[in-house]
Amino acid sequence: MSVSWFRGKDRCALASIGRICAVYIAFFSSSLGHAADNRLVLTGSSTVAPLAAEIGKRFEEQNPSIRVDVQSGGSSRGVADARSGLADLGMASRAPNADETDLQFFTIARDGVGIIVNTNNSVRSLTDEQIVAIYTGKIADWSKAGGAAGRITVVNKAEGRSTLELFLHYFKLKGGDVKAHVIIGENQQAIKTVAGNPGAIGYVSIGSAEYEAGHGAHIRLLPMSGVAASVENVRSGSFPLSRPLNLVSKGAPGAVARRFIDFARSRSVHDIVESQFFVPVAP
Amino acid sequence: MTLSNRSSSSRSRRDTRLVAAVATAALGSSAIFVLIVGFLLKESWPALSTIGPARFLFDPAWRPTEGLFGLAPMLSASLAASVGAVILATPLGVASAIFCRHYAPPPIGWIHRWSMALLSGVPSVVIGLWGLTAIVPLIGRFEPPGASLLAGILILTVMITPTIALMSGAALDSLPDAYGRGAVALGLSREATLAHVLLPAARGGVAAGILLAAARALGETMAIVMVSGNVVQAPLSLFDPVRMLTANIALEMAYATGSHRASLFVSGLMLTALVIALAAAAWRLSGDHCHG
């Protein structure tokens, strides 16, 4: 009795070890397989990623043999992965830097960065100087910026985020100048932080902010230099704080990547671009 | 006896095979740990050798792109949050274990035990989201910005209380019945039995639970990124926004290159050392030296 029990256990242990090995082998071969022709890997900007994922789904429907794999992690990762070949295409929510001549940028849409405050805040607009003063800690109370008395909570982005780069570049600030009270990573976290704090001010993609504000989040977008922060004004190019959303490839893209880029810039994805409150670039 | 004698040779052969298989699996899993530590050392070596360990502790600020690598504010924030959470979670967890085993009517005790087990399995990102939308605004109403050391401590308390409750409960369960019966025979009250017989006897398991919980608190990342504000500064007040070591790695690793990246691995190494020290202490206290 005990012998057969033991034999059963023995076989069982070996079989389960075999199964574990099989799973590992499957896992590693699949992760090595991304260079294969039928798989397209995109990594990078957390702003571009949801857009690329939706475009990718439609691309897969039309090309059933191709799988599009989208991973977010910031524009810098997108550029680095495109350069190192870890990704077939990088995603970057900014224009190319001067030292990125080895890469090709393909604009698939435009995005605007808007200043947001809580809906309970009586302030309706801020000048660029006031925004700089708030972010550098020279104005610490809303009463000094035309609002009701209340401490200002400055929400800033973590180092390396392209929204931060765009914001600092536009206001001619250096990273160390900003006196932040809360530092966040993703747009959603900034929206939730500002929505939950009547004294908070932050900046996020206008697309995400307009969408969330329209769906009941307690945030309000402020105009910049008299131009309302709206998707429409980013489309027309009149909104000052805006940026291109790019796909990045090292040298000429491969055949599948080329088809994906053409597809992402074509009219057949305008509804996807617009549904995410970005602005299409194709005529 | 006769049965095992008759088949001893085949059994020992199978035994050998099983031992080999089990040993391979065990060595494989421990090798992964050694490889991780080796990887951390390798990746942080450029920073440790060129910048030097002392500067990570004594530099006045964390501005890696400008050559300042002070990790001390973040180390103190990590320690402050973990110690705070352990101070809050220990009485809660131990009390919950005692309530479950000795005071609650069986159905309520059963429900409570299950809810603790389920709470310990709630993903940290879910708890973090709850903290960001419920706890942070609540604190912010009294002391803006709300995202603060206190919010971090409260969220960590929610996450580690189940660990302490479940470990303490298991320690109380494993005590011999004779202890309780002996105490009753001596005429001790239920309170005296708990305070002077059962809890002292279970203290090894309770302490191990506390240390494991502290290790989890130190290593927690996602929820902490969402609620604690992430400003690099030493925690001087409960309402200060602070950045913990884990949050620093999560926020910056995706963008870091060169010595910035290597110095993030140094903070990873520092965290691993702290967690290993806690785990070793828990292992010694629990007294049970092979829990797998």
Encode pLDDT of A64-75 as tens digits: 999 999 987 778
Residue A27 has pLDDT above 50, yes or no: no
pLDDT of residue A166: 79
| Per-residue pLDDT tens over the stretch B33-62 | 999 999 999 999 988 888 888 888 888 888
In A, minimum Cα distance to B18 occurs at A10
Contacts of B243 in chain A (CB under 8 A): 183
Residue pair A187/A47 in contact (Cβ under 8 Å)? The answer is yes
pLDDT of residue B98: 93
What value does the mean pLDDT take over residues A150-175?
85
What is the pLDDT confidence band of residue A283, given thresholds at 50, 70 and 90?
A: low
B146/A contact by beta carbon, under 8 A: yes
Closest CA to A155 of A120, A198, A125: A198
pLDDT of residue B39: 94
B135/A contact by beta carbon, under 8 A: no
In A, minimum Cα distance to B142 occurs at A197
Inter-chain residue contact A183 with B251, CB threshold 8 Å: yes
pLDDT of residue B187: 92
Inter-chain residue contact A181 with B65, CB threshold 8 Å: no
B181/A contact by beta carbon, under 8 A: no
Inter-chain residue contact B255 with A76, CB threshold 8 Å: yes
Residue contacts between A and B (CB atoms, under 8 Å): 104
Q: Which two tokens stand for residue A214?
A: 């329209």
The pTM of this model reads 0.72
Contacts of A119 in chain B (CB under 8 A): none
Inter-chain residue contact B147 with A200, CB threshold 8 Å: no
Residue pair A86/A43 in contact (Cβ under 8 Å)? The answer is yes
pLDDT of residue B287: 62
Mean pLDDT over each residue of chain A, to the nearest integer: 83
| Per-residue pLDDT tens over the stretch B191-206 | 999 999 999 999 888 9
pLDDT of residue A7: 41
Contacts of A197 in chain B (CB under 8 A): 136-137, 140, 144-146
What is the pLDDT confidence band of residue A9, given thresholds at 50, 70 and 90?
A: very low
pLDDT of residue B284: 82
Give the gap in angstroms from C-alpha A73 to the nearest C-alpha of chain B: 6
Exposed e or buried b for every residue in A230-246, given b needs 16+ CB within 10 A? bbebbbeeebebbbbbb
Inter-chain residue contact B231 with A158, CB threshold 8 Å: no
| Per-residue pLDDT tens over the stretch B111-170 | 999 999 999 999 999 999 999 999 998 998 888 788 999 999 999 999 999 999 999 999
pLDDT of residue A2: 36
| Per-residue pLDDT tens over the stretch B75-84 | 999 999 999 9
Contacts of B136 in chain A (CB under 8 A): 193, 196-197
A199/B contact by beta carbon, under 8 A: yes
pLDDT of residue A194: 92
Closest CA to A49 of A181, A246, A210: A246
> Containing H/E element for A69?
strand A67-72
Sign (positive or negative) of CA dihedral B243, B144, A119, A170: negative
B140, B256, B257 member nearest A196 (Cβ): B140
Query: Would you call B25 helix, strand, or coil by DSSP?
Result: helix
Residue B6 has pLDDT above 60, yes or no: no
A9, A160, A189 member nearest B252 (Cβ): A160
A179/B contact by beta carbon, under 8 A: no
